[in-house]
Amino acid sequence: MLFKAMPRWQIDWRLLSFLTALYLLVFANKTFWTKASLYLSGAPGPLIALALGVLALLTAITSIAAFRPVFKPVLFLLIAIAGGASWFIDSLGVLIDTEMVRNVIETTPDEAGDLLTAGFVWRIVLGVLLPCLLIARLRVRFPSARRTAAWNAGIVFGCLVTAVLVAGIYYKPFSAIVRNNRDLVKTLNPVTPLVSTIKVALASGNEARIVAKPLGTDASVSTAANGQTKPRVAIIVVGETARGASFSLGGYARETNPLLKQQDVIYFPNVSSCGTATVVSLPCMFSDLKRSGYTREAGMARETVVDVLQRAGLDVTWLENNTGSKGVADRVRFIDIYNSTDPRFCEDGTCDDEIAFEKIDEWLNSVKEDSVLVFHQLGNHGPAYYKRYPAQFRKFLPECTTTELSKCQDQEIVNAYDNAILYTDYILSGIIDRLKAKRDRLATGMLYVSDHGESLGENGLYLHGTPYFMAPDEQTRVPMLTWLDPDFASGMGVDTACLRQERSKELSHDNLFSSLLGMMNVSTSVYNAGLDMFAACRSGPKPIPKSVDSANDGDKT
Half-sphere exposure of residue 92: CA atoms within 13 angstroms, side-chain side: 25
Average pLDDT over residues 276-288: 96
How far is 452 from 380, CA to CA, in rounded Å? 11
CA-wise closest residue to 514 among 497, 499, 505, 526: 526
Determine how β-strand 139-141 pairs with β-strand 346-347: unpaired
472 within a domain of the structure (yes/no): yes
Q: 107 pLDDT band (50/70/90 cuts)?
A: confident
Q: Give yes or no: residues 343 and 389 share one domain.
A: yes
Position 548 scores a pLDDT of: 42
Average pLDDT over residues 285-301: 95
Q: What is the pTM of this model?
A: 0.86
214 within a domain of the structure (yes/no): no
Total domains, the chain: 2
Q: Give yes or no: residues 474 and 375 share one domain.
A: yes
298 within a domain of the structure (yes/no): yes
Is the pLDDT assigned to residue 517 strictly greater than 50?
yes
Coil, helix or strand for 265? Answer: coil
Q: Give yes or no: residues 18 and 163 share one domain.
A: yes
- Count of C-beta atoms within a 10 Å radius of residue 122: 11
Domain coverage including residue 103: 2-207
Sequence-separated (6 or more) residues with CB below 8 Å from residue 247: 256, 257, 267, 421, 479
Position 545 scores a pLDDT of: 65
Is the pLDDT assigned to residue 541 strictly greater than 70?
no
Which residue blocks in 392-524 are alpha helix, DSSP H? 410-436, 473-476, 486-491, 496-501, 512-519
pLDDT tens string 122-152? 889 999 999 999 999 899 888 877 888 888 8
How far is 131 from 112, CA to CA, in rounded Å? 24
Q: Give yes or no: residues 392 and 510 share one domain.
A: yes
Return the DSSP state at 482. E
212 within a domain of the structure (yes/no): no
Q: Give yes or no: residues 266 and 405 share one domain.
A: yes
Is the pLDDT assigned to residue 202 strictly greater than 60?
yes
Q: Give yes or no: residues 105 and 48 share one domain.
A: yes
Position 415 scores a pLDDT of: 98
Q: 173 pLDDT band (50/70/90 cuts)?
A: confident
Is the pLDDT assigned to residue 200 strictly greater than 70?
yes
Q: Give yes or no: residues 266 and 331 share one domain.
A: yes
Position 3 scores a pLDDT of: 52
17 within a domain of the structure (yes/no): yes
Is the pLDDT assigned to residue 445 strictly greater than 70?
yes
Query: 297 near 211, Cβ under 8 Å?
Result: no
Of 207, 222, 253, which residue is a domain's last?
207
Of 162, 191, 207, which residue is a domain's last?
207
Mean pLDDT of the chain: 90
137 within a domain of the structure (yes/no): yes
Q: Give yes or no: residues 193 and 134 share one domain.
A: yes
Is the pLDDT assigned to residue 542 strictly greater than 70?
no
Q: Give yes or no: residues 419 and 492 share one domain.
A: yes
Q: Give yes or no: residues 236 and 201 share one domain.
A: no
Strand pairing partners for 522?
Answer: 221
Average pLDDT over residues 495-509: 95
How far is 57 from 49, CA to CA, in rounded Å? 12
CATH number at residue 506: 3.40.720.10
Residue 184: is it exposed, middle or buried by C-beta count within 10 angstroms (0-12/13-18/19+)? buried
pLDDT tens string 312-332? 999 999 999 998 999 999 999
How far is 82 from 61, CA to CA, in rounded Å? 13
216 within a domain of the structure (yes/no): no
Of 207, 239, 272, which residue is a domain's last?
207
121 within a domain of the structure (yes/no): yes
How far is 314 from 216, CA to CA, in rounded Å? 13
pLDDT tens string 2-45? 555 556 788 998 999 999 999 999 999 999 999 899 888 878 88
Q: Give yes or no: residues 468 and 325 share one domain.
A: yes
Q: Give yes or no: residues 316 and 417 share one domain.
A: yes
Average pLDDT over residues 424-442: 97
